[in-house]
Amino acid sequence: MSATGTAAIFQRWIPTSIYIAFCLAPGGCSVGDLNTAERRERGLVIVLPGIEGPSNWNANLARGLAEGGVRSAIEIHDWGTPIPGGMLINLADYERNQASAERLKDHILEYMSAHPRRSVHLVGHSGGGGLAVLAVEKLPTNKPVSSIVLLAAALSPDYDLRESLGRTRFGIFNYYSKLDAGLLGVGTSLAGTIDRQHVIAAGAVGFNRPSTVDDASGRLYSKLHQIEWRPEMRAYGHLGGHMGWTERSFVRRYLGPLISDLNSSPPPISGWETE
């Protein structure tokens, strides 16, 4: 299909106002004050935007994490193409996304080398959730991250998470909403997920446990924590839609305390990585 035809489909499954907001979203307020040398000594949280790239949405996410108690460094990692309006490339170019995941993996290892025994969390929204999983899969098994937090992840529900689960200490926290039926229902069914499946995404319905799982794999899947949107989240600005997970008040109430609590918990496996 031509780029023009794909763009036409893209516009059909996103309401016009949201599509315009995606295309015109500003680069977002600076969050450089959350990524100081002092904060990096306490750990690192990497925020991975959706296919729209850096925007006020992910800046609000970063601010909400800090306001929710995260004292470690928080950075927004731009994994997308520099081509203006390249959202479809960010979604559909699997080879390019694998290369982006490789670079993110190197970035994580560079931080771990400079700051051993510090926590590393990845928070990925929409397409950024797919990048988070792809990158962690590439880490050495003795260099696990602390956790992956997926918000409306644009991955297929049957995606095999065992490689990424095995490279986390506390597991994967998958936040999903059945009300996200436009972007992660019709949208990913037409345009595909990050792993190139044309299905309703896990960010709308959750991940499925593999049908054939041995004891070791079962232990890995016990580290998958699935959190469905609940009506009480409306009080914090999250109405159940795709961008609700980035609402500052929601992040401050739910996600900041999660990461802060994990950082204060002992690792659930024996020992830390060695250099």
pLDDT, one tens digit per residue, over 180-189 is 999 999 999 9
pLDDT at 268: 66
Q: How confident is the model at residue 30 (pLDDT cuts 50, 70, 90)?
A: confident
Residue 240 vs residues 152, 176, 228: alpha-carbon distances, Å: 10, 9, 10
Q: How confident is the model at residue 136 (pLDDT cuts 50, 70, 90)?
A: very high
Distance, CA of 227 to CA of 167 (rounded, Å): 20
Distance, CA of 214 to CA of 194 (rounded, Å): 27
Per-residue pLDDT, averaged over 112-129, amounts to 97
Alpha helices in 68-93 (DSSP H): 87-92
pLDDT at 22: 44
What are the pLDDT digits (tens) for 51-84? 999 999 999 999 999 999 999 999 999 998 887 7
What are the pLDDT digits (tens) for 224-256? 999 999 999 999 999 999 999 999 999 999 999
Q: Which CATH superfamily is domain 3-240+247-257 in?
A: Alpha/Beta hydrolase fold, catalytic domain (3.40.50.1820)
Dihedral (C-alpha) 236, 225, 65, 195: value to the nearest 10 degrees?
-100
pLDDT at 5 over 90: no
Distance, CA of 168 to CA of 210 (rounded, Å): 19
pLDDT at 215 over 90: no
Output the CA angle 51-21-102, nearest 5 degrees.
15
Distance, CA of 205 to CA of 222 (rounded, Å): 18
pLDDT, mean over the chain: 88
pLDDT at 29: 61
Distance, CA of 51 to CA of 130 (rounded, Å): 10
Per-residue pLDDT, averaged over 115-142, amounts to 97
Q: Which residue has the higher pLDDT, 268 or 72?
A: 72
Angle between helices 3-13 and 16-24 (to 10 degrees): 120
Q: Which residue has the higher pLDDT, 87 or 28?
A: 87
How buried is 34 (Cβ within 10 angstroms: 0-12 exposed, 13-18 middle, 19+ buried)? buried
Q: Where are the beta strands (DSSP E) in the chain?
A: 44-48, 73-76, 120-125, 147-151, 172-176, 224-228
pLDDT at 145 over 50: yes
pTM for the predicted model, two decimal places: 0.87
